[in-house]
Chains A and B, each alone.
Chain A
């Protein structure tokens, strides 16, 4: 019981914690206030509580696939806000501070809504079971502790690096998060039968199983999937293009335009 709740809570906390650390490190390198993270946490927890308490109703929407539709939408919206932030951050280095901060806060708080609601639903199952509840909560605290520590380690490593290098690492990580989120959104929509389903493209589970420790870590960092479909792969590539290539392209055009003027 203890071990399984450590694993479940760790998995959920890790994703949010890593995303938050990367965004905080980017803010730090740009000299932005880090206070937005408290607001993101507050709204994230409130949203997670609200979503978990309405979960039964949401699950019944659209002929019992409401859960998939809401989760997929959350992921798509998170990626859109991350893309918006990346565009602003790379094109207008100084200025638009408030907008940048709002974009980061929305992306972070929606991630907390998604992951936090799942933790609340998990723990809610043990509320009436006094034998198991203490070990579930203890496991949760340990899991959350490990997840937050990994995030803190990442944040301090990124702030320690020289800015240009840190920003490169941070953007690669954001792109992998976005790719994983879009690929997950596609899986959700396929599960709901809103997108057509196809055979899997390849199977790397004999090399690296998804439920192994490394597999789980890679899932949190880059949405590792041992048996992806073509639609998932397309979504994954879209995520990387949005965060890594689009800002560079737009930057180039803005530069050309400024030159010609």
Chain B
């Protein structure tokens, strides 16, 4: 095998190693309906990066906010968004909808 081809395969493997963890990030769904989060409690694996896909089924915007997760993001009405969280130590991480803090509350449980 020529050096060039070997180099090419090496780079290809390096690239695959680089992109594969990204595509393996587990994804979880949360829905917002009538200013409530569904599910209100979501269990996720600990010590790993998680992709949250949040659907806002209301017509008004909401802000996903969590002090414990260090996360905040506005989600427009009738739209979806993506938030990456973790790696989390095992435990409970409350979050809430800042625009409707009284009703919109939820919790992520890392196990």
A63 to B81, CA, bound (A): 9
Greatest chain A CB density within 10 A among B74, B86, B101 is at B74
Q: Assess whether B73 is interfacial by the CB under 8 Å rule.
A: yes
Is B22 a contact of A193 with CB atoms below 8 Å? yes
Q: Assess whether A4 is interfacial by the CB under 8 Å rule.
A: yes
Is B73 a contact of A124 with CB atoms below 8 Å? no
Is A55 a contact of B76 with CB atoms below 8 Å? yes
Is B87 a contact of A55 with CB atoms below 8 Å? no
Q: Which of A59, A190, A211 contacts B76 (CB 8 A)?
A: A59
A4 to B77, CA, bound (A): 20
A112 to B18, CA, bound (A): 38
Is B67 a contact of A191 with CB atoms below 8 Å? no
The residues of A that contact B99 with a CB separation of less than 8 Å are 8, 122, 125
Is B61 a contact of A122 with CB atoms below 8 Å? yes
A214 to B77, CA, bound (A): 32
Q: Given A122-B61, A190-B84, A199-B87, do A56 and B79 touch, yes or no (CB 8 Å)?
A: yes
Q: Assess whether A36 is interfacial by the CB under 8 Å rule.
A: no
| Residue of B whose beta carbon sits closest to that of A195 | B84
The residues of A that contact B77 with a CB separation of less than 8 Å are 125
Q: Assess whether A15 is interfacial by the CB under 8 Å rule.
A: no
A187 to B67, CA, bound (A): 12
Is A4 a contact of B84 with CB atoms below 8 Å? no
Q: Assess whether B89 is interfacial by the CB under 8 Å rule.
A: yes
Contact-size category for A: 35 or more
**Chain B interface, number of residues (Cβ within 8 angstroms):** 32
A81 to B20, CA, bound (A): 38
A55 to B75, CA, bound (A): 10
Task: Name the interface residues of A8-45: CB closer than 8 Å to any CB of B.
Answer: 8
Give per-residue flags for A51-73: 1 if the beta carbon is below 8 A from chain B beta carbons, else 0: 00001100110011101100000
Q: Assess whether A197 is interfacial by the CB under 8 Å rule.
A: yes
The residues of B that contact A191 with a CB separation of less than 8 Å are 70-71, 73, 83-85
Q: Assess whether B6 is interfacial by the CB under 8 Å rule.
A: no
Is B60 a contact of A187 with CB atoms below 8 Å? no
Is B73 a contact of A197 with CB atoms below 8 Å? no
Give per-residue flags for B46-67: 1 if the beta carbon is below 8 A from chain A beta carbons, else 0: 0001010000000111110001
B interface, CB within 8 angstroms of A: 22, 25, 49, 51, 59-63, 67-68, 70-71, 73-77, 79-87, 89, 98-99, 101-102
Task: Identify the 6 closest CB pairs spanning chains A and B, nearest first.
Answer: A125-B60, A64-B82, A193-B84, A210-B67, A56-B76, A125-B61
30 interchain pairs (CB within 8 A)?
A4-B101, A8-B98, A59-B74, A59-B75, A60-B79, A63-B82, A64-B80, A67-B73, A68-B73, A121-B61, A121-B74, A122-B61, A122-B63, A124-B60, A125-B60, A125-B61, A187-B70, A191-B70, A191-B71, A191-B85, A197-B49, A197-B85, A197-B86, A199-B87, A199-B89, A200-B70, A205-B68, A226-B67, A227-B67, A229-B70
